Structure 1
């Protein structure tokens, strides 16, 4: 038996060697091999062949079949390198996003924010998965070639190469159908919504200039196409806050909830939308010093840095009427001024001509005409002479020495406020008290402004900063002084005939609007407006969903809510206050020069007094005004006016904004730092 086993073993070994030799003969064509009589060595060689060249050749032969499947796949496929350089997109991706493959291959993935290492910096939610070799599934809004946004379910899968390192990322994207509730995948959708809008949720990567340029393609006739474009853009705004993600999850949960649960969730949403939870998570402002200085200077009250110098700002408010010019009625206005104010309802109204004709007193004249047009005297039950006296006192307490924050700026904000109040959607939303509050708030919103920022006053230890505890210093002063000036003298007390409760309601509305002009809560106000008003209205317009009511009732419910009316008024005065970039180009340039001069003067004084320099980039010797305007428009203005346009239908303003942005970009690309290009030789 033993001999038989040995003979069988020898035959098997001989057969194995023969098989190995045949395989190795084929392999020798591609690899040098030294004959080895050892069976173990032959087996080892076969194993190396199987897991090396043979499998690689099989994979290579199958690659054409794989790419055929990708080309015919109905889902969007995008393959990038470990550095997020696009290497492949399939035809479905091209069709959905509007790009040609040649436009993308070899280029960096533009939908992801940029980090300080000049590589694609995915948000932490994704990084925590894919950097560990795990796949991530979520949702974000991609941007098509034409600038429109598209909501997508996305799976991102890392591909591990030799050495265990990530070599590629494969993204599978499918557009969301928001009109149908996906009952089967409800739990998955909750997970997806919890990570919503990951592409545009942080300010680390601001939108590029091409996003603003796209605004110029919109018509000035308020067409439906332009409206749809604005509505689409509000879904992809870069003002996402953590609370918004919570709201999105609740909205998804409501779709498949019972009536009782849905009503409870409605109450939750109402609470969330009226609390202070909307401040966004800001990034590094692209390491742009102009943007950084603007944000730090405008959005903070400034840290008190003891310098040994205490700047004390004092100004005696002008309460007496005896030194003021003789009162003028509408019937006694000089013909030249009357002629200049004939088109005061048009957006291209020239406030600077009125400033010159009135010897820097445009607020009284424009105020008389505007308030008369809105019937403010009748609402307040006060005489025209009282209103004239009030306007004169308020204007006398604006500093004509300020290059920007003077009564001309107040008149300009009043003009923009009145213009907005005439828009149909706003007239549907606000009542008579709201209109009067908005007009008065516009007139007083910067009264007695010292021409210095809140940060400056706090750093200098000014009397105002001490009085208001370094918090909302200027805005508190504007509101308080305006009411002091009004109520201390009966001759200019426009509120003296109001019933007490009506006066308190009006007063609170005015104060709230003045406080809304403070920049530290800029993103909170815009965020609340978009999520509480714009997005619900956009849903009704796009889907015809009334939430259990008819469309008309649903619109009315959204617009007439007390909280929403407050948000609309805040947004109105905010847009009016910083509408300079949306004015015709010649006015935009003039305002840019004036605000720059005021910042230059502040920097000069900070250096002279040894105070911390709030905005170092605004040094009159080195500052680039075009760069500062580009940063201001890109960081503060574009999103806000996209949202305001989507609500109030203001395509002419967005068109001016695009034109003005192109102008500043042109100057910057020419390496010019001035307001205008040099005259042709």
Structure 2
């Protein structure tokens, strides 16, 4: 059977159709019968068909020369289609007759290979590739320039494109390759560059420019027919076959994009590589927010505590795990899901990927107290077991990560949803906080068990929760003493086991609103003599959160604490509570302000005034005003004023590393906080004219002193998460529930106190509230208006950079390398601080106090710092100088 290649000329040009001649490398033997069809497309005339034939007896000569000339230069493409059977060709070349590949269990049909040759002019190299394609039975086309090549590629979608890179006058080979790569959905084509032989055999040119342009391979010019056939066979069996399988993967992606289940794929390091639309519907997170982030196992209070260990144990063996778990949506809602985790094994049996399927599952219900108690017992047992085998090898999932860790990675957005978000969203985020305190786990287990228990068991567990939420679980409140109230035993026990007056157990007293009188000062203004008008104009805005403390610092010549302190103390009736004169209070404020170091960039009296303002703002919120008594409020104000007095502008770690006198005195424990609180009382008692405590009773003074010390010590950041955990579990959830109950009963009860309010007013709970209040006030700079936020960020960065400079100069360990002037990035440090410390804290505080303005500012400032960091990255800058922060 003969073969009949057809030559199609798409535009005018010169076409030479060869048979075998003596100077040709044509692979055809003389026994072939060939028929050539030439179609010349010329303008609107239509194609002209010319048929030429060569019989078996024809000698190998040039049989036809067709020339069509036109004024403008065009592109010539022609296609050779052999009518000789493909099987015969494969038999002649030894090519195996494989028409199917396997992609796992999927059969992938191998289509006929299409090849596009791009040569500006015909030469022996193009001829050799042409006859190699014919010999192998591949469909081949030839293009003369870039436009014709792109047009042909768009029409035929070739598997292989061979571009002549030896000549640069007619077209840019690398630009053509980039153009082909830019065509959407055709990225699977293999592109080969034909290059010249290196004139210097000792120096081989780099292939990197070709790879950067998008070429897959380089073929050094070689007109030997066998070399071209081998090159095409190698490409067929490697690059083309692999890319044909990749094209088949598009069908698989189309399938998983349209299933209802949520599908996620992670690499061996548990980083999310892909999530489908079903995942977005189930969790609320878009692929842009999660892809590239680290993925942890499902984490919820309702899951059994050995869940992570059970999953890790199974998948480490290369086996799948399936079960029902609880996880959180983006809005914080807890959802029950049925998940199937399958590890994907690669070479050597090593895990290369994890595929997880999720679907929503119905809630399971247990009935009767026996089942509920058994569930609680089982959960507790699992918790103990999980603690024993928590720390496994590095191949485990990170058990501290939630199902989707928004902070580290939040994507570019803050976790705050804005002040206008629904209150239940804030409460849900508190429920989903990633705090790993054991008491948190215990409380959450009980909460989960309560959901399906009968009322009598729920009430019993409520009592358990009330006990667990007390501030001191292991410190007994001595409401009665042993041995029938023997006075000797009672005095001995109280003397050994208590510190201070018995009034510290005032939580035993039933509190209600009628025993919380609010002082109304006789005058809303302080009696500072000769207050300048510009100072008074600023002080008039003191009740607002947007109060400009930096401007007050300027107009008071760096004495803002005195003026702001007198204004706030007058508003809260501090003189009446302390039973002291206003002159004494003013002298005390001046004394404290003098002991702040104005040379400090950050920890100076302006910072103290800023914390005092935030404290007063919080105390004025309805929720706080209805819970704290007047002594609590005065203690908070005094603690805010003196919480950083005599601060050296260096951190605790620096003082310990430097073996300072303060570190030695306080045994390296809460060094600065202990010093601030101790010095406050030393200064106050040193001069009777400044002693604001001298008219208090002994019991009142001891209680006030204890509260001030406790609040100042709470500002130590090493116990940040401990305080936050206690507040979130003991106060925030209870306060959120109480506010919902208030809203429900307000129209019927006239604002009567609920049991939740009475519980919040115990001394232990008021102590927790005061600790969180001063903590939020102390580090609230990122929640201030943007101009103030930026100013405070510059100041703290400068102070920390000064510490780093001194550490380097003295050869001390560098405590905070991020604040090295050579590498400091203020935006990144602010982003990290908000993510790590402020997110959960202000969520919990907002849920309890309702502070929408703080959340609004914090969200905007977070976005601002993210924008600054991204802009610096675009500019290729890793350092942000202080003067460059706008």
Q: Which residue of 2 aligns with 1:562?
A: 763
* Separation in 2, partners of 1:543, 1:439: 30
Structure showing greater Rg: 2
* Separation in 2, partners of 1:191, 1:71: 39
Kept in 1, the 8 Å contact 2:711–2:774? The answer is yes
Q: Which residue of 2 aligns with 1:456?
A: 654
Which of residues 688, 695, 719 in structure 2 aligns to 1:521? 719
The residue matched to 1:343 in structure 2 has which SS?
A: coil
Structure 1 residue 606 and structure 2 residue 802: aligned? no
Q: Which residue of 1 aligns with 2:175?
A: none
Give the Å deviation of 1:563. Answer: 1.9
Give the Å deviation of 1:616. Answer: 2.0
Kept in 1, the 8 Å contact 2:639–2:711? The answer is yes
Q: Which residue of 2 aligns with 1:655?
A: 856
The residue matched to 2:590 in structure 1 has which SS?
A: helix
Query: Residue deviations 1:499-541, cap 9 Å, x none?
Result: 1101111110111000000000001111111111223344566
* Separation in 2, partners of 1:649, 1:500: 36
* Separation in 2, partners of 1:370, 1:340: 13
C-alpha spacing 1:359/1:159, structure 2 compared with 1 (3 Å): closer
Name the TM-score, length of structure 2 as normaliser: 0.55
Which of residues 637, 662, 670 in structure 1 aligns to 2:838? 637
C-alpha spacing 1:82/1:446, structure 2 compared with 1 (3 Å): closer
Q: Identify unmatched segments of 5+ residues in structure 2.
A: 1-101, 108-250, 299-306, 387-396, 475-525
* Separation in 2, partners of 1:188, 1:131: 28
C-alpha spacing 1:396/1:596, structure 2 compared with 1 (3 Å): same
Give the Å deviation of 1:562. Answer: 2.2
Kept in 1, the 8 Å contact 2:336–2:363? The answer is no
Which of residues 391, 410, 413 in structure 2 aligns to 1:213? 413
C-alpha spacing 1:109/1:350, structure 2 compared with 1 (3 Å): closer
Structure 1 residue 131 and structure 2 residue 337: aligned? no
Give the Å deviation of 1:127. Answer: 1.4
Kept in 2, the 8 Å contact 1:137–1:192? The answer is no
Q: Which residue of 2 aligns with 1:242?
A: 438
* Separation in 2, partners of 1:237, 1:105: 19
Which of residues 877, 880, 883 in structure 2 aligns to 1:674? 880
Q: Identify unmatched segments of 5+ residues in structure 1.
A: 1-52, 59-63, 115-121, 278-327
* Separation in 2, partners of 1:544, 1:272: 22
Give the Å deviation of 1:567. Answer: 1.1
* Separation in 1, partners of 2:847, 2:695: 39
* Separation in 2, partners of 1:609, 1:502: 46
C-alpha spacing 1:347/1:258, structure 2 compared with 1 (3 Å): closer
Give the Å deviation of 1:270. Answer: 2.4
Q: Which residue of 1 aligns with 2:631?
A: 433
Q: Which residue of 2 aligns with 1:141?
A: 327
Query: Residue deviations 1:412-437, cap 9 Å, x none?
Result: 00000000111111112211111111
Kept in 2, the 8 Å contact 1:113–1:205? The answer is no
Name the TM-score, length of structure 1 as normaliser: 0.71
Q: Which residue of 1 aligns with 2:342?
A: 158
* Separation in 2, partners of 1:82, 1:557: 52
**Count of aligned positions:** 547
Query: Residue deviations 1:226-272, cap 9 Å, x none?
Result: 42332222122222333311222233445537858954773476246
* Separation in 2, partners of 1:154, 1:628: 39
* Separation in 1, partners of 2:106, 2:885: 68
Kept in 2, the 8 Å contact 1:153–1:192? The answer is no
Which of residues 258, 261, 270 in structure 1 aligns to 2:467? 270
Kept in 1, the 8 Å contact 2:723–2:772? The answer is yes
Kept in 2, the 8 Å contact 1:625–1:674? The answer is yes
Q: Which residue of 1 aligns with 2:296?
A: 112
* Separation in 2, partners of 1:175, 1:244: 26
* Separation in 2, partners of 1:558, 1:240: 25
Higher helix share: 1
Kept in 2, the 8 Å contact 1:155–1:173? The answer is yes
The residue matched to 2:423 in structure 1 has which SS?
A: helix
Higher strand share: 2
Structure 1 residue 97 and structure 2 residue 298: aligned? no
Give the Å deviation of 1:335. Answer: 1.7
Query: Residue deviations 1:642-676, cap 9 Å, x none?
Result: 11111111111111111111221122112254368
Q: Bigger relative contact order, structure 1 or 2, given CA contacts below 8 A and separation 6+?
A: 1
* Separation in 2, partners of 1:679, 1:474: 30
* Separation in 1, partners of 2:277, 2:819: 48
Structure 1 residue 227 and structure 2 residue 433: aligned? no
The equivalences for 1:165-564 within 5 A come to: 169-174=355-360, 186=372, 201-202=400-401, 207-208=407-408, 210=410, 213-214=413-414, 218-219=418-419, 223=420, 225-254=421-450, 256=453, 259=456, 263=460, 266-267=463-464, 270-271=467-468, 274-275=471-472, 329-538=527-736, 553-564=754-765
* Separation in 1, partners of 2:541, 2:574: 20
* Separation in 2, partners of 1:235, 1:399: 41
* Separation in 2, partners of 1:90, 1:593: 43
C-alpha spacing 1:492/1:202, structure 2 compared with 1 (3 Å): farther
Query: Residue deviations 1:291-334, cap 9 Å, x none?
Result: xxxxxxxxxxxxxxxxxxxxxxxxxxxxxxxxxxxxx9435312
Query: Residue deviations 1:172-209, cap 9 Å, x none?
Result: 4546869x87669745687679679x998449956146
C-alpha spacing 1:616/1:125, structure 2 compared with 1 (3 Å): farther
The residue matched to 1:466 in structure 2 has which SS?
A: helix
